[in-house]
Amino acid sequence: MFTCEQPSLTHYLQKFAGQNERSDIAACFVAVEPGSTKVLGYYTISAHAVLESELSSRQKKGLPSYDRIPAFLIGRLARDVSMKGKRLGEVLLVDAMARLCAIEAAGRMMVVDPIDDNASAFYGRYGFEPLGQSTTRLFLSMKAARKAFGAPNAP
């Protein structure tokens, strides 16, 4: 059975991931143990919008004057306690980023809401930075992500 250090992430997978998937609220991607059905980790992706007022002046540069800016939300990312220290979190994040770079839909950025300071530091190592004045919400521009993956700049 999947168990994360963060009980809310364990609970989400057990109770809500399937429901959100069936309701088209979030797509859940899981990593499983080879030859098994044991879930080792997962992440979710949803369509999202960021309010233009949430962005700093620098982050607004080059954007049209829209109230909402299209984005993608990596809503949950978790790994089983058995995978601690094995870099599965990194594998999951890179997979999510690569998947979003390959998608044929427009979005200005990837957004995450880290669950704690350790999660914030983790995302920061991959180029995510504070969204506007927020101390809890981070983003990575799709342009920067596509550059990192060698993907074209436009969907």
Q: Nearest Cα to 111, choosing from 82, 153, 73, 64?
A: 73
Residue 17 lies in a domain: yes
Tokens of 139: 């983003």
Domain, as residue range, for 62: 7-149
- In terms of Cβ atoms closer than 10 Å to its own Cβ (0-12, 13-18, 19+), residue 148 is middle
Percent of the chain with pLDDT over 90: 85
21-37 burial string, b = 16+ CB within 10 Å, else e? eeeeebebeebeeeeee
Evaluate if residue 63 carries a pLDDT over 70: yes
Spatial contact of 55 and 132, defined as CB atoms under 8 Å apart: yes
More confident: 114 or 62: 114
Residue 155 lies in a domain: no
Residue 31 lies in a domain: yes
Identify the pLDDT of residue 154.
Answer: 54
Residue with tokens 């980790």: 41
Residue 145 belongs to a domain with what CATH number? 3.40.630.30
pTM: 0.92
Distances (CA, A) of 6 to 76, 111, 115, 125, 154: 11, 20, 9, 20, 36
Q: What is the pLDDT of residues 116-146, one digit of tens each?
A: 999 999 999 999 999 999 989 999 999 999 9
Residue 132 lies in a domain: yes
**In the chain, how many domains are there?**
1
